[in-house]
């Protein structure tokens, strides 16, 4: 396992990376503003579950195989871009309903749907996988034993940092969105803005290079 000093240093770097503007924290911000902080937290949980998948792929050596295949990279990014474009279409067509954020259904299905959005958003972004492949091994030390358990431990620390930072974004954005959605006009503007952001993320992912 990595030393405590290594884990602390890695946690600090992970927090800084989570604070850096990017597709994932922007996705959390928009979903929270549209649907409230509870929905935003469900998306954050989904993103963290996606990080577990990426970490496991690096630890098991699957990420290196994937990174060597340009066709796999292209197929995955196009799937992710198509999903974001579908979300953009839904946001652009969403009706305005005053009275607060679009409610997250109390049923487990509503929460699971938002968790699923986070999982799909993360796992269909090949840039995250390639980043983990280059980033996590730098903090693993072969002298301290097998690399796979060390990489999994580092992935867990990265997930905790992401949960804290993205959770704060979800709470603040959800509160701001609740104020905006007291007005039907502001809610329509918010929906259109969300749609354009999702569309921009789709284009960015579709045109991403390894």
Residue with more model confidence, 188 or 25? 25
**What's residue 106's pLDDT?**
45
Q: What percent of the chain has pLDDT over 90?
A: 29
Long-range contacts of 80-84 (CB under 8 A, 24+ apart): 80/120, 80/121, 80/124, 80/125, 80/126, 80/202, 80/205, 81/202, 81/203, 81/205, 81/206, 82/202, 83/120, 83/121, 83/124, 84/121, 84/198, 84/199, 84/201, 84/202, 84/205
* Average pLDDT across the chain, whole number: 83
Global pTM reads: 0.83
> Where does the pLDDT of residue 172 fall: very low under 50, low under 70, confident under 90, or very high at 90 and above?
very high
For the segment 155-184, the average pLDDT, to the nearest whole number, is 87
**pLDDT of 86-140, one tens digit each?**
888 887 877 665 555 554 444 456 788 999 999 999 998 888 888 888 888 888 8
For the segment 158-168, the average pLDDT, to the nearest whole number, is 95
**10-24, 72-86, 141-155: the lowest-pLDDT one:** 72-86
**What's residue 89's pLDDT?**
85
**What's residue 20's pLDDT?**
85
Residue 44, pLDDT above cutoff 90: yes
75's CB contacts (< 8 A; 6+ apart) are none
**What's residue 107's pLDDT?**
47
């Amino acid at each position: 396992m990595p030393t405590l000093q290594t884990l602390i240093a890695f946690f600090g770097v992970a927090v800084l990376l989570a604070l850096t503007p990017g597709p994932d924290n922007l996705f959390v911000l928009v979903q929270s503003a549209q649907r409230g902080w509870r929905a935003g937290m469900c998306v954050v949980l989904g993103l963290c579950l996606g990080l577990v998948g990426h970490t496991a792929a690096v630890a098991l050596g699957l990420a290196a195989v994937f990174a060597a295949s340009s066709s796999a990279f292209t197929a995955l990014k196009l799937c992710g871009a198509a999903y974001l474009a579908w979300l953009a279409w839904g946001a652009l067509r969403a009706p305005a309903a005053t009275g607060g954020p679009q409610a997250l259904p109390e049923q487990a299905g509503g929460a699971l749907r938002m968790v699923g959005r986070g999982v799909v958003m993360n796992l269909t972004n090949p840039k995250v996988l390639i980043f983990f492949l280059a980033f996590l091994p730098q903090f693993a030390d072969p002298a301290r034993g097998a690399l796979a358990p060390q990489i999994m431990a580092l992935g867990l620390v990265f997930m905790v940092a992401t949960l804290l930072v993205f959770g704060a974004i979800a709470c603040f954005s959800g509160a701001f969105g609740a104020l905006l959605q007291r007005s039907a006009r502001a809610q329509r503007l918010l929906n259109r803005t969300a749609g354009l952001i999702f569309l921009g993320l789709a284009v960015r992912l579709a045109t991403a290079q390894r």
